[in-house]
Amino acid sequence: MPAATSCGIPHDPEDSLDRIRQTGVLRAGFTVREPWVTADGTGAPAGPEAEVVLRFAGSLGARVDWRQGSESELFEALGRFELDVVIGGLTADNPAGPSLGLTRPYVERDQKQHVMAAAPGENRLLVALERAVRAHALSVASSVGGKAIE
């Protein structure tokens, strides 16, 4: 008889959350989309979403290894598990959304609901990212002139 498994605990097929904690590195992709994410001239992003990712990484005892690219390049890298998180003013209606792990919408601006993306199937990572996003939704909303979604 097969061993029973726990159904209540989210599981990461690639164990991303554990890897981040063990290696101390969160791999994050970004595309510049003001006011969500701006470029600071050093190869690292700035802006409210970048700040959320930095704080999230810090809560895991990790630093962020940033990678800039187009949305499609970054989504492909997420799908290959080369990145953990992607930011850039992403919206909940993004056509790539169903193939990725998206947070619940956390800020609304200009009638668009904004999300962050995580590698597909990485449920524990997505739950942890979701908590960070929720914790900082008001400050992001204030920074971008939007409204936090409860």
- pLDDT tens digits, residue range 39-67? 878 889 999 999 999 999 999 999 999 99
Domain with residue 81: its CATH number is: 3.40.190.10
pLDDT value, residue 68: 96
Residue 4, domain member (yes or no)? no
pLDDT value, residue 43: 82
pLDDT value, residue 42: 85
Residue 5, domain member (yes or no)? no
Q: Model confidence over 77-128: pLDDT tens digits?
A: 999 999 999 999 999 999 999 999 999 999 999 999 999 999 999 999 999 9
pLDDT value, residue 4: 47
β-pairing verdict for 85-87 and 25-30: parallel
Give the chain's domain count.
1
Residue 2, domain member (yes or no)? no
Q: Does residue 147 surpass a pLDDT of 50?
A: yes
Query: Which range of residues forms the domain containing residue 109?
Result: 16-148
Q: Give me the chain's average pLDDT, please.
A: 93
pLDDT value, residue 90: 98
Contacts 24+ apart (CB under 8 A), 64-67: 64/25, 64/26, 64/27, 64/28, 65/25, 65/26, 65/27, 65/28, 66/28, 66/29, 66/30, 67/27, 67/28, 67/29, 67/30
Residue 6, domain member (yes or no)? no
pTM: 0.91
Do 105 and 114 contact (CB within 8 A), yes or no?
A: yes
Residue 44, domain member (yes or no)? yes
